[in-house]
Amino acid sequence: MPDTADLERLLRAVGLRVTRPRVAVLDAVHAQPHLDTEALIGATRARVGAVSHQAVYDVLRVLTDSGLVRRIQPQGSVARYEARVGDNHHHLVCRDCGTIVDVDCTIGAAPCLTPSGDAGFAIDEAEIVFWGRCPSCTDSRPAPFPDSTVQRGKS
């Protein structure tokens, strides 16, 4: 987990001015990957006090555009943000609770998957989302109903 000096160095390294909101948002994204914008607004306010929604949205856009933060948006979900960038990893998403977990590339270097045809594109990244149920949701699911056709009419 980077400290404040590390976060400031990251911002300067990509040519960004160091501001309290930028440091606070970047810190929050590092501390809790896959948070949505509303959660990041709360985390940022906990770090710096008053900050507008628009300021956090602007910081997230700048951090994403500069490559310090990655924006992901699994189907049916709001945008989420993470600081793990540049390694072309993928995600597991729980269908029930929405938990998102990082998954390393399956093999090789980016893009780690090669399509059967590239249509002339110079492919540099693959984005894969694996869907399922996390252990907590799997364990909390009720047992399936017994088959109603079995033993029907027998006493």
**Structure confidence by residue, pLDDT tens digits, 87-96:** 878 899 999 9
Is the pLDDT score of 149 beyond 80? no
Strand, coil or helix: what is 71? Answer: strand
pLDDT of residue 139: 86
- Cβ neighbours of residue 153 under 8 Å, at least 6 residues apart? none
Please state, in angstroms and rounded to a whole number, the distance separating the CA atoms of residues 81 and 49: 21
Q: Give the mean pLDDT of 118-146.
A: 79
pTM, entire model = 0.79
Rounded to the nearest 5 percent, the helix, strand and coil shares of the chain are 35, 15, 50
Tell me which DSSP letter residue 18 carries. P
pLDDT of residue 76: 86
Cis peptide before 111 (omega within 30 of 0): yes
The structural domains of the chain, ordered by start, are 4-72 (1.10.10.10), 86-140 (3.30.1490.190)
Q: What is the mean pLDDT of the chain?
A: 86
Q: How confident is the model at residue 144 (pLDDT cuts 50, 70, 90)?
A: low
Structural contact between residues 42 and 15, judged by C-beta atoms closer than 8 angstroms:
no
Q: How confident is the model at residue 145 (pLDDT cuts 50, 70, 90)?
A: low
pLDDT tens, position by position, 40-74: 999 999 999 999 999 999 999 999 999 999 999 98
